[in-house]
Amino acid sequence: MFITLEGPEGSGKTTQVPLLADFLRGRGHRVLTTREPGGTPIGDQIRQVLFSLDNKAMHPRSEILLFQASRAQLVETVIRPALAEGQLVLCDRYADSTLAYQGYGHGVDLGALREIIHFATGGLQPDLTIFLDIQVEEGLRRRDQGGDWNRLDDYQLDFHRRVRAGYLELIAAEPDRWLVINAAQPPDAVAAALQGALQQRLPLLG
Ligand code: TYD
């Protein structure tokens, strides 16, 4: 089973991934967690290029292709092998991030993005995608309280509003694939809500 996590900035995905992995292990799954961009030695180098404040001249098409290069490496060398040997893969961001950020956020044609994503992933799609939802202002406030600033953090409020609205469109188009969790609660309440929702959903996924 392949599960991805998505959400706007500051939605707390990074806190929830290990909690969710522990919960799933407790239910007997062998779980591999990873993230994008990155998750492989080559992907981690691409992540540095994408995030570096030295790279403000990066063209949007270069940015799109770098995300896909990292994704292709992760899919072929980590995700597909793990799925093939029966592990449950939990990935912090995946193709929906490209549609939400580069597509809805930056206005790049969604059809073109879907083709490039298909090329990068060989068509691998998640069985389930968890959306940790939070209002954009609250998410940015949380994000700005901690961590290092990177190139991608420079985008403004309007951009992030388009990203969140884009996610909501993706969810409306494919409601069966998504699980929407209110992330504007303390982390343990988010974890509990997520676990409760998954307990209902997982038996269906086999
Ligand atoms: P990261 O620091 O990993 O934080 P988080 O996932 O917790 O937000 O940042 C990843 C950034 O990359 C985030 O701003 C979303 C962006 N991104 C894209 O724009 N397109 C993509 O395809 C992916 C995977 C990420």
Per-residue model confidence as pLDDT tens digits over 128-145? 999 999 999 999 998 888
pLDDT value for 164: 97
Compute the radius of gyration of the chain from its Cα atoms: 16
Q: Say yes or no to pLDDT of 42 above 80.
A: yes
In this prediction, residue 156 has a pLDDT band, given cuts at 50, 70 and 90, of confident
Q: How many domains does the chain have?
A: 1
Ligand 1 atom having least distance to the Cα of 105: 19
Distance 67 CA to ligand 1 centre (A): 9
Average pLDDT, the chain: 95
pLDDT value for 146: 77
In this prediction, residue 53 has a pLDDT band, given cuts at 50, 70 and 90, of very high
Domain of 77 in residue numbering reads as 2-205
Neighbouring CB atoms inside 10 A of 50's CB total 20
Q: 180 or 202: whose pLDDT is higher?
A: 180
Q: 69 or 205: whose pLDDT is higher?
A: 69
Instruction: State how far the Cα of 37 lies from the Cα of 70, in Å rounded to an integer.
Output: 6
Q: Say yes or no to pLDDT of 147 above 90.
A: no
Phi-psi region of 86 (alpha: psi -120 to 50; beta: other; left: phi over 0): left
Cis amide bond preceding 175, omega within 30: no
pLDDT value for 202: 80
pTM value is 0.95
Q: Say yes or no to pLDDT of 125 above 70.
A: yes
In this prediction, residue 204 has a pLDDT band, given cuts at 50, 70 and 90, of low
Instruction: State how far the Cα of 8 lies from the Cα of 131, in Å rounded to an integer.
Output: 9
Instruction: State how far the Cα of 115 lies from the Cα of 144, in Å rounded to an integer.
Output: 34
Quote the crossing angle between the two packed helices 60-74 and 41-51, to the nearest 10°. 160
Q: Which two tokens stand for residue 186?
A: 């303390």
Q: Say yes or no to pLDDT of 118 above 70.
A: yes
From 15, 93, 110, 162, give the residue whose CB has the most ligand 1 atoms within 8 Å, as the site to mutate: 93
Neighbouring CB atoms inside 10 A of 195's CB total 16
pLDDT value for 7: 96
Parallel/antiparallel/unpaired status of strands 2-6 and 88-92: parallel
pLDDT value for 144: 87
- Find out whether 1 and 205 touch, Cβ atoms under 8 Å: yes
Phi-psi region of 139 (alpha: psi -120 to 50; beta: other; left: phi over 0): alpha
Distance 139 CA to ligand 1 centre (A): 14
Distance 61 CA to ligand 1 centre (A): 16
Q: How far is CA 157 from CA 56, 65, 137, in A?
A: 19, 24, 8
Q: 2 or 203: whose pLDDT is higher?
A: 2
pLDDT value for 76: 98
Residues 6+ apart with CB under 8 A from 171: 131, 178, 180
Q: Say yes or no to pLDDT of 205 above 60.
A: no
Report long-range pairs for 168-171 (Cβ below 8 Å, ≥24 apart): 169/104, 170/96, 170/99, 170/100, 171/131
Distance 203 CA to ligand 1 centre (A): 30
pLDDT value for 120: 98
Ligand 1 atom having least distance to the Cα of 153: 14
Q: Residues lining ligand 1, judged by CB closer than 6 Å?
A: 9, 13-14, 36-37, 67, 93, 97-98, 101-102, 152
- Find out whether 150 and 92 touch, Cβ atoms under 8 Å: no
CATH number at residue 149: 3.40.50.300
What share of the chain has pLDDT > 70, as a percent? 99
